[in-house]
Amino acid sequence: MAEGPPVLPVPEMKKERYDEIKKKFVEKFGEDPAFFARAPGRVNLIGEHIDYCGYSVLPMAVEQDIVMAVKPDSSGKLTLVNTDGTFEEYEGNVMNIHITKDVPHWYKYVLCGVLGIKEQFCSLVTQGFKAMVDGTVPKSAGLSSSSALVCCSALAMLRANQWPMSKEQIAETCAKCEHYIGTEGGGMDQAISITARLGKAKLIEFNPLRTTDVQLPGNASFVVSNSLAEMNKAATPHFNIRVVECRLAAQVLAQSQGSVKWREIKRLGELQEKLGLSLEDMLSLVATKLHTEPYSKEEVCSILGTTPEELAETSLSSNTLHVESFRLYQRATHVYSEAKRVLRFKVVCDEQPEDALEQLGQLMNESHASCRDMYECSHPELDKVVDVCRQAGAVGSRMTGAGWGGCAVSLVRCDAVKPMLAQVKDNYYKLEPKKMERVKEALFATTPGDGAAFYI
Ligand code: ADP
Ligand code: NG1
Ligand code: MG
């Protein structure tokens, strides 16, 4: 079997934090934890909202993470406590987990990871665990705090039960089980959290999951700036509406081709594969076969020759049944053009031409424009922080993660990082005391961090 996550001693520079988490564990449970599990958040450099369409993405892990101090519990009990007292304690049993999709309580992300792993080893007697959970990934800000929590919990469950699993299997399992919270994401966040390597961004391809290290140009730095507009992806239908629009776009395009049965198509990527066309050809197909006005549900049903009831079964999800209007042209144009930009970004990193930074920056700017205008998943505050970053010297800047708020990521020449940070602080955060209070956690330079691990 391919390798699982490494088991490492707690690094010297992280000792203080881990000791603090351990202290809280001992105070709460009256015994020592057996191990720590850690999974990082990520920043996606390019390839937004295309993983669930089957296309490759290019993220890197960040230093911010979720850490759990864990002690197995042979009674099967699960006791989850958070170092942040605003998250209520949870008690349950691993043999009896039900995750409802109504309110996305924090512990349900933990249950996703536990259940996902348990389902892989269903015939075995199962240990539960006690955990003290500590997170530093900004929440609901596009740096994937949710998947860091799911992945960390999956790791805790694996080690509590001494079950072996490769990194790829864990990543794929976590991508699937995060759906239990209600969002139908792709596998980017879990894949990078589990498989990241210090110093490397990764090209992540799906079905099957493959990851390839990407060497960023030596003079490239990345700055993250949180707009501080928060958006929990599982608490609203925005995210799943986009997933559904992409599915319907693929099905309507399939129907226009005659050679492909629309009921067999779920993703824009599958359609491209079935038709054997290039991304450029797919963009032309979208331009000629889809209209720019929104499609009503009746129109979609009429094109596909189906009923609203069957459409609900084949193409919608429980929180998108009420949606009556779908922007198919815009969503498909974003997906196929963004897929092209990811491939181009990788080529530029591989070839490192003299103007590599300018080319990468331009791709990031184009990605942001497409997310904002075609995918409509940005936010006025996010657009503002992107503009401020560009004016402050970024070579390129874009929203990162699902959007509707959250962070921008900017490509910055290494020697320009300091003045850039100072200007963004002055021109975005200083304008509002509420933002200025949070500038330290909200604005930072970052380098590709390491992936998930156990610490003992
Ligand atoms: P993100 O872009 O950060 O992944 P999501 O909306 O997908 O945003 O998930 C955010 C949710 O994840 C939070 O509302 C919370 O329930 C959970 N979460 C994130 N970090 C923590 C943490 N440190 N402790 C508890 N729950 C957390
Ligand atoms: P965030 O912003 O972390 O919730 C989501 C999805 C990704 C991907 C991006 C958009 C999950 C767990 N994550 O990320 O798969 O689709 O949006 O590119 O659903
Ligand atoms: Mg998330």
- Assign 124 a pLDDT band (cuts: 50, 70, 90): confident
pTM of the predicted structure, to 2 decimals:
0.97
Q: How far is CA 6 from CA 39, 178, 316, 452, in A?
A: 12, 23, 39, 8
pLDDT of residue 218: 95
Collapse the DSSP code of 37 into the 3-class scheme (helix H, G, I; strand E, B; otherwise coil) and give the result: strand
Digit-coded pLDDT (tens) for 41-52: 999 999 999 999
Angle between helices 380-391 and 417-424 (to 10 degrees): 140
Ligand 1 pocket residue status of 449, Cβ below 6 Å: no
For all residues of the chain together, what is the average pLDDT? 97
Q: Is the CB of 378 under 6 A from ligand 2?
A: no
Q: Return the SS3 of 226.
A: strand
CB atoms within 10 A of CB 280: 11
Least confident range of 102-106, 424-428, 434-438: 102-106
Residue 245 confidence (pLDDT) above 90? yes
- The stretch 148-156 carries a mean pLDDT of 98
Neighbours of ion ligand 3 (CB under 5 A): 146
Q: Find the largest Cα–Cα distance for the chain.
A: 67
Ligand approaching nearest to the C-alpha of 188:
2
pLDDT class of 234 with cuts at 50, 70, 90: confident
pLDDT of residue 123: 67
Whether the CB of 401 sits within 6 Å of ligand 1? yes
* Average pLDDT over every residue of 291-312: 98
CA of 56 to the centre of ligand 1 (A): 24
Q: Which atom of ligand 2 is nearest to the CA of 57?
A: 18
Which H or E run contains 214?
strand 210-214
> Using one digit for the tens of pLDDT, what is the confidence trace for 63-113?
999 999 999 999 999 999 999 999 999 999 999 999 999 899 999 999 999
Q: pLDDT band for 1, please (50, 70, 90 cuts).
A: low
The pLDDT score that the predictor gives to residue 125 is 73
Give pLDDT, residue 150.
Answer: 98
**Mutational pocket test of ligand 1: of 52, 62, 88, 106, the residue with most ligand atoms within 8 Å of the beta carbon:** 106
CATH architecture of 7-215+449-455: 2-Layer Sandwich (3.30)
Q: How far apart are CA 187 and CA 56, in angstroms?
A: 10
Nearest-atom index, ligand 1, CA of 232: 6
Cα–Cα distance, 296 to 330 (Å, whole number): 14
Q: Which of 347, 366, 351, 350 is nearest to 411 (CA)?
A: 366
Q: Quote the ipTM score.
A: 0.99
pLDDT of residue 134: 98
Give the residue among 329, 331, 328, 311 at the shortest CA–CA distance from 320: 311
**206 Cβ inside 6 Å of ligand 2:** no
- Could you confirm whether 189 is annotated as catalytic? yes
Instruction: Tell me what percent of the residues of the chain surpass a pLDDT of 90.
Output: 96
Cβ–ligand 2 distance for 183 under 6 Å, the answer yes
